[in-house]
Chain A
Amino acid sequence: GENVEQHPSTLSVQEGDSAVIKCTYSDSASNYFPWYKQELGKGPQLIIDIRSNVGEKKDQRIAVTLNKTAKHFSLHITETQPEDSAVYFCAASKDSGGFKTIFGAGTRLFVKA
């Protein structure tokens, strides 16, 4: 069945360092890959997304890369700050007359000041 694997489950970095989170999806028909940040007591917040016809997308300190052949996609956060500490989820979705979004298990990111 459809599955998204996300690694690592926990990531601890020093403020100013980079953080990388990797995901692999199983459904080759997936064509949309959003990333969400969830802080305690809140719903997930979309931080960046990429569609299957694009290999890389960047928004300030955040970038996402997609390798369709390997079915891998990654989130890169540069110059991390303490407020980046949260749980990050990758997801894979496909538009097949309706959307079904499959989420990874999440990565808890700690940024130490």
Chain B
Amino acid sequence: KAGVTQTPRYLIKTRGQQVTLSCSPISGHRSVSWYQQTPGQGLQFLFEYFSETQRNKGNFPGRFSGRQFSNSRSEMNVSTLELGDSALYLCASSVDGYGYTFGSGTRLTVV
């Protein structure tokens, strides 16, 4: 079966811009989580969605937001980009929150 698909794979943005990243989960998976991965901070939890509801949120500023659609696809948005937002953004899906399957990520570079 198809895995978790994240688009785009690479993105370059300028400081102050905003960006939207997309995630298509495995068919039948209703839980989608997002993570930020950087060499310095490792893997940090952003938020978790289940059936269009945000159930949990990590310690990130309000510039980071997300949503989930009725077909379980999810998007995350970062507004007013800063240089420190450069990272690999990973999406993962699961049927119920256990055993997440990760996508390959979107590498965001802010210049």
Contacts and interface: CB of A to CB of B under 8 A. Distances in A.
A98 B55 contact: yes
Interface in A93-113: 93, 95, 97-106
Interface centre among A42, A49, A97, A101 (most CB of B within 10 A): A101
Interface of A: 32, 34, 36, 41-46, 49, 89, 93, 95, 97-106
A49 B99 contact: yes
A108 B78 CA distance: 30
Given A89-B43, A106-B42, A98 B99 contact: no
Interface residues of B, number: 25
B67 to A, nearest CB: 15
Contacts of A93: 97
A9 to B, nearest CB: 11
Given A99-B48, A99-B94, 8 more contacts: A43-B103, A44-B90, A44-B92, A46-B99, A89-B42, A98-B50, A100-B56, A101-B33
B104 to A, nearest CB: 5
Contacts of B102: 36, 43-45
Given A99-B33, A99-B55, A105 B99 contact: no
Interface of B: 4, 31, 33, 35, 42-45, 48, 50, 55-56, 58, 90, 92, 94, 97-105
Interface centre among A32, A95, A100 (most CB of B within 10 A): A100
B99 A99 contact: no
Contacts of B58: 100
11 contacts: A34-B99, A34-B100, A41-B104, A46-B100, A46-B101, A89-B42, A89-B43, A98-B97, A103-B43, A103-B44, A103-B45
